[in-house]
Amino acid sequence: MKQGWEIKKLGEICKVIAGQSPEGKYYNSEGNGLPFYQGKKEFCEKYLGVPSTWTTYITKEAEAGDILMSVRAPVGPVNFSTQKICIGRGLAAIRVGKVIDNEFLFNYLLKHENEIEGNAGAVFNSISKKQIELIEIPLPPLSEQQRIVSILDKVFAAIDKAKANAEQNLKNAYEVFDSYLKGVFEDQKDKWVYEKLGDVCDTGAGGTPLKNHKEYYEGGDIPWLRSGEVNKKDIIESELYITEVGLKNSSARLFPLNTVLIAMYGATAGQVGILRFRCSTNQAICGILPNSVFIAEFLYYKFIAGKELLVSQAVGGAQPNISQIKIKNTHVPIISIKEQQSIVNKLDALRAETQKLEAIYKKKLDCLEELKKSVLQKAFAGELIEDV
């Protein structure tokens, strides 16, 4: 530690306020009373987000400028309060004293977020007010703290700008491919002849063996997919397996190699993949069986391009369900295998280039995060200089 710096316990230089939740009968969503925050649900990058709940009975308060710490799983994340609020059991407020800058403390706690450990409880991992007060803080003179904060603000602003650019480039890479993909099917729609999928392809759904029959699962060697696993083009493995007995005593079925799978239920509705091994599925997946009319990759791209339209026809509101009937009624172009293959080759090539760009931008984002950690490490080791 740099000469002239001290080590202080947080409780010696700050006031820690443990949250306490009012009874639920005092909550409202109309803005009556004080905004109420129970945990880190509304935490943003640095400043607390918009409240969704208010309370007319005030238990423990945090002021604007207080640092809020999540004290129940996850333990450690921090945000600034932007106004007077009521805090529940999932939060503690840290109010700085005269010898420490609140931005300096915030950055220190941010750096050590993953190292702050509490009690291993049966339901929550939690940290107490006393444990927060015992956190040790390296404390330079106030002027030095403010100098460090000033440098961190400049560096983080530059990092945030670079991250925003990388994220926009990543978004652009997705959008270029998506636009080209949709254009392939839009530009030719007046030239192609269409049929309903169900008239030219066989489809089927899977099933779930009864969970209370252990013999349907234990020791099973038949791959069994759930809809959440239909999340990439080539599906090469499953997380779960069922037994032969489970397969025979349920509506689950073995789909052959190159079956095109479409997730039908919930948050995964409309996702598409190609089965690259023989596998069974649950009832939330529709399988389009391979035949001589289509190559699997062409149908994959067709349904990826039409995902928004298909999902828009789903029922169920927040948890949309696409029926197998809707999938069978989807109109598909009847074109030669040669033309299908030509389209697939072009899309595969563009997809490969897009994935290269995605990898570059994702790596850049990871590097920027590491840079931020490195800068924080220097800051609290007393090694931060102006041209960091």
Same domain, 120 and 237: no
Same domain, 122 and 208: no
Residue 386 has a pLDDT of 65
Q: Is residue 367 part of a domain?
A: no
Same domain, 112 and 203: no
Residue 1 has a pLDDT of 62
Kindly state the average pLDDT of the residues 195-217: 96
Q: Is residue 178 part of a domain?
A: no
pLDDT tens for each residue of 67-103: 999 999 899 999 999 999 999 999 999 999 999 999 9
Return d(Cα 210, Cα 216) in angstroms, integer. 7
Same domain, 22 and 95: yes
Mean pLDDT of the chain: 93
Same domain, 200 and 104: no
Hey, CA dihedral for 333, 231, 260, 329, is it positive or negative? Answer: negative
pLDDT tens for each residue of 321-349: 899 999 999 999 999 999 999 999 999 99
Q: Is residue 184 part of a domain?
A: no
Same domain, 202 and 292: yes
Residue 110 has a pLDDT of 94
Residue 239 has pLDDT above 50, yes or no: yes
Residue 372 has pLDDT above 80, yes or no: yes
Residue 189 has a pLDDT of 83
Q: Is residue 11 part of a domain?
A: yes
Confidence grade of residue 122 (pLDDT, cut at 50, 70, 90): very low
Same domain, 115 and 214: no
Q: How many domains does the chain have?
A: 2
Q: 67 is written with which tokens? A: 């640092």
Q: How many helices (H) and strands (E) does the chain have?
A: 10, 24
Q: Is residue 111 part of a domain?
A: yes
Burial 173-194 (b: 16+ CB within 10 A, else e): beeebeeebeebbeeeeeeeee
Q: At 55, is the secondary structure helix, strand, or coil?
A: strand
Taking residue 237's Cβ as centre, other Cβ atoms within 10 Å add up to 10
Same domain, 253 and 330: yes
Same domain, 243 and 313: yes
Confidence grade of residue 36 (pLDDT, cut at 50, 70, 90): very high
Residue 190 has pLDDT above 90, yes or no: no
Return d(Cα 291, Cα 257) in angstroms, integer. 11
Residue where one domain finishes, among candidates 292, 312, 334: 334
pTM beyond cutoff 0.85? no
Residue 3 has a pLDDT of 79
Q: What is the CATH number of the domain that holds 316?
A: 3.90.220.20
Q: 289 is written with which tokens? A: 């069986």
Return d(Cα 99, Cα 14) in angstroms, integer. 9
Q: Is residue 385 part of a domain?
A: no
Same domain, 119 and 47: yes
Which element (helix H / strand E) includes 342?
A: helix 337-379
Residue where one domain finishes, among candidates 100, 121, 140: 140
Confidence grade of residue 229 (pLDDT, cut at 50, 70, 90): very high
Q: Is residue 75 part of a domain?
A: yes
Taking residue 156's Cβ as centre, other Cβ atoms within 10 Å add up to 17
Same domain, 46 and 118: yes
Return d(Cα 379, Cα 278) in angstroms, integer. 55
Burial 6-35 (b: 16+ CB within 10 A, else e): eebebbebbebbbbebbeeebbeeeeebbb
User: What Å distances lie between residue 363 and 357, 366, 371, CA to CA?
Assistant: 10, 5, 12
Residue where one domain finishes, among candidates 106, 140, 174: 140
User: What Å distances lie between residue 215 and 59, 206, 208, 209, 218, CA to CA?
Assistant: 53, 19, 13, 10, 6
Percent of the chain topping pLDDT 90: 88
Q: How distant is the alpha carbon of residue 238 from its chain centre? A: 21
Same domain, 203 and 127: no
Q: Is residue 339 part of a domain?
A: no
Residue 14 has a pLDDT of 98
By residue range, what is the domain housing residue 107? 6-140
